[in-house]
Amino acid sequence: MQMRKLGKSNLEVSAIGLGCMGMSFSYGPAMDKQEAISLIRSAVERGVTFFDTAEVYGPFTNEELVGEALAPFRGQVVIATKFGFDLDPKLDPRGMKGLPGLNSRPEHIKEVAEGSLKRLKVDAIDLFYQHRVDPDVPIEGVAGAVKDLIREGKVKHFGLSEAGAQTIRRAQAVLPVAAVQSEYSLWWRRPEAEVLPTLEELGIGFVPYSPLGKGFLTGKIDESTAFDSSDFRNTIPRFTPEARKANQALVDLLGQIAERKGATPAQIALAWLLAQKPWIVPIPGTTKLHRLDENLGAAAVELTADDLREIESAASRITVQGARYPEHLEQMTGR
């Protein structure tokens, strides 16, 4: 597996990471714990060194899973987790619809760090993201709290998730930001307008989540696909049957390129991301070993300048239908 550095942070990770959320939360019933542990350890065996979780996934159970699975590999892997929600341990995990309120008050960040350290079974959190920008807490206070945790040796690197350019700059003025995590793929390209140029200027890495469009860009979902009742895609405007039918054109485009390259649509979607910048590290999630192998195979797919121009030209003629989140979740993105 090729390695990449997240900006100027000297945080070096595998070119493709593993998003672990779906093993516990959001995409239907949670995986069997032992099967999930086996999958995570299989990823390590295949060269993956970058694993993504958060306290809200479950809540709490995904961090515990990742901590247990990666316990034998301390020092060999990088674990990213996140703070920023007000969680009650008794919270009924209802998927994304049941997301609690935001809370990035400095004292709360420090409490979350203590809990995450225990669940992850680590002495220090490799990368600690603010999960969503909290409009009630100045980002300078958030960065200051993480700076304290770094000084105490409890956190190694600071990250932001779904933050806008202005927030990134203000945070960077207090504490170097190692990485920004936001949704980015061929069907959600908003980061290209302001966020990516800002990260390039400041030397910050970028970690695209949902790099396969929550599964849609794999070509395995069509307008007739039925999701489990607990799958949060049921709440997403972009996943209505009508939107899926309209958005099939993008999957068809990936399929055409894939056929020519001897690859799969998912591999082309990931290879396209890797080709955008050398400091971009996507974190596709999966619950299946053959999908893990497929995703990791994207690192070996070479897209030429001509391929990229062709994708760009064809994609520019496709208008993706439907919002990427329900309105209450879209409002949780930073400025």
Contact present, 94 and 57 (Cβ < 8 Å): no
Cβ atoms within 10 Å, residue 230: 16
Contact present, 286 and 210 (Cβ < 8 Å): no
Q: Which residues pair with 206 in a beta bridge?
A: 180, 280
- Which of 204, 206, 186 has the alpha carbon at shortest distance from 316? 186
Per residue, the 3-state secondary structure of 125-166, as one string, reads: EEEEEECCCCCCCCHHHHHHHHHHHHHCCCEEEEEEECCCHH
Q: Which of 57, 129, 184, 325 is catalytic?
A: 57
- CA dist list (Å): 262 to 255, 265, 268, 273, 298: 10, 10, 10, 18, 11
27 in catalytic set: no
- Residues with Cβ < 8 Å from 259, sequence gap 6 or more? none
Q: Does 59 sit behind a cis peptide bond, omega within 30 degrees of 0 on the bond before it?
A: yes
d(CA 46, CA 59): 28
Question: If you compute the radius of gyration of the chain from its CA atoms, what whole number of angstroms results?
Answer: 19
d(CA 93, CA 24): 10
Show which residues are catalytic. 57
